[in-house]
Amino acid sequence: MPSLHFPDRLARLQGVLSRKRIDALLVTQPANRRYLSGYNAEDHGIQESAGVLLVPRRGQPFLLTDSRFLLQAEEEATGFAVRLYQQGLMATLSRLLPELRVRRLGFESHYLLHATAGRLARVTDKLKVELVPGTDFVEPLRIVKNNDEIAKLRAAVLLNEQVFQKVYRTIRPGMTESAIALDLETAMREMGAAGPSFPTIVAFGTNAAKPHAIPGSRVLAAGETVLIDMGLVLDGYCADMTRTVMVGEPAPLFRERLRIVRRAQLAAIQTIRAGVTCRQVDLAARRVIREAGYGACFGHALGHGVGLEVHEEPRLSSRSRKKLRAGMVVTVEPGIYLPDWGGIRLENMVVVREEGCEVLNRDTTFLDR
């Protein structure tokens, strides 16, 4: 059998299983499945899984899937034994768990339907296997990125910027939010991305006061702000970026508020280094916005980790006392939102380093105006 894509990742997971005295782990979370095996199939929601991994503490790992995915599974998850669950996952586990002498089976309790967990419990009860729920078997391994992952994230960020620049030039009064969002997502695919990493946000004027606005049929008027939050997936890794622009000459109040948000972003970026808590970084940005008189206008957390998923650990929140470690990749996205005026958000991605951080975004045209 060909060798594993990521023997180091599997070895680290097996170390976790040993420490928790777990004989095997059932991996149902799709990004975790991909991270460990290289298997790249997509789930159409939690009810339509493209397969699960069964990783024993020692020896051969398995990928359990159905016939639709057999060829892809064998091509991508090299080193994994691919088994089809013709009679369903539970029937396969009923045979495989005794074969592997599993007494304690870990499962991802944050990514298994209650109904599926019930069926699993009936199987394991019968086999006298103990179920061990957990939410942090694989995620802690993913939180620090290696150089190869950082290179992929950098490439995703740069392509995302190119897509933005291309579409930005075509934005004119009279266009709708949803037309611009569609142009951005089309350009992502045309320029080589697998697709958007989340539904693109385009919000004009007061609509931008909602941090997660949904693009609609609103028509752009001259002198309105345009908030664009967009991301793409390239080689499995996600980009996430927000720019807020005004088409034509920016109004003085817009410029003033944009500068405050940019200063908040830079204050956070200057704080980021290994050993600093997430809370300290969030507060560095929040202080700038508060001192400018907009403290009540910045409700959400400052940022989040990005990797195989667009939102992952760590969260840059004022409540998190988690320490940053070198190799983590996070967004820095302060904003100011006023219901009767609109909103401004700027979002870049940075890599945490021992002595500071590296901003992955290259283009500052739309940040310092």
Return the SS3 of 105: strand
Stretch that binds Zn ion, among 26-34, 57-65, 112-120, 325-333 (CB under 5 A): 325-333
**x/- contact string, 186-225, with Zn ion (CB under 5 A)?**
----------------------------------------
Q: Would you count residue 313 as binding Zn ion (CB under 5 A)? A: no
Closest CA to 312 of 44, 29, 6, 51: 29
Q: What angle do CA 9, 82, 45 make, to 5 degrees?
A: 75
Q: Answer for the pair 325, 247: CB distance below 8 angstroms, yes or no.
A: no
Stretch that binds Zn ion, among 155-163, 227-235, 245-253, 315-323 (CB under 5 A): 227-235
Stretch that binds Zn ion, among 18-26, 252-260, 326-334, 335-343 (CB under 5 A): 326-334
Q: Answer for the pair 137, 108: CB distance below 8 angstroms, yes or no.
A: yes
**x/- contact string, 229-258, with Zn ion (CB under 5 A)?**
x----------x-x----------------
Sheet holding 201-204: strands in order across? Answer: 201-204, 225-230, 241-246
**How many angstroms from the chain centroid is the CA of residue 287?**
26
Which residues 64-103 are close enough to bind Zn ion by CB under 5 A? none
Closest CA to 274 of 154, 357, 332, 361: 357
Per DSSP (E only), the strands in 28-111 are: 52-56, 62-65, 81-84, 104-108
Closest CA to 244 of 162, 157, 359, 366: 366
Measure the CA–CA gap between 257 and 351, rounded to whole angstroms.
Answer: 26
> What's the closest the beta carbon of residue 303 comes to Zn ion, in angstroms?
7
Contact with Zn ion (CB under 5 A): which of 331, 336, 337, 361? Answer: 331
**How many angstroms from the chain centroid is the CA of residue 236?**
11
Closer CB to Zn ion, residue 106 or residue 196?
196
- Sign, CA torsion 247/250/253/255: positive
> What's the closest the beta carbon of residue 318 comes to Zn ion, in angstroms?
16
> What's the closest the beta carbon of residue 92 comes to Zn ion, in angstroms?
38
> What's the closest the beta carbon of residue 311 comes to Zn ion, in angstroms?
7
Closer CB to Zn ion, residue 100 or residue 306?
306
**x/- contact string, 259-278, with Zn ion (CB under 5 A)?**
--------------------
Closer CB to Zn ion, residue 36 or residue 301?
301
| Tokens at 42, concatenated | 């997509």
Q: Answer for the pair 85, 92: CB distance below 8 angstroms, yes or no.
A: yes
> What's the closest the beta carbon of residue 43 comes to Zn ion, in angstroms?
22
Which residues 335-364 are close enough to bind Zn ion by CB under 5 A? 347
Q: Is 322 exposed, middle or buried (0-12, 13-18, 19+ CB in 10 A)?
A: middle
Stretch that binds Zn ion, among 92-100, 149-157, 256-264, 323-331 (CB under 5 A): 323-331
Closer CB to Zn ion, residue 38 or residue 303?
303
Closer CB to Zn ion, residue 185 or residue 229?
229
Residues of this chain that interact with Zn ion (CB under 5 A) are: 229, 240, 242, 331, 347
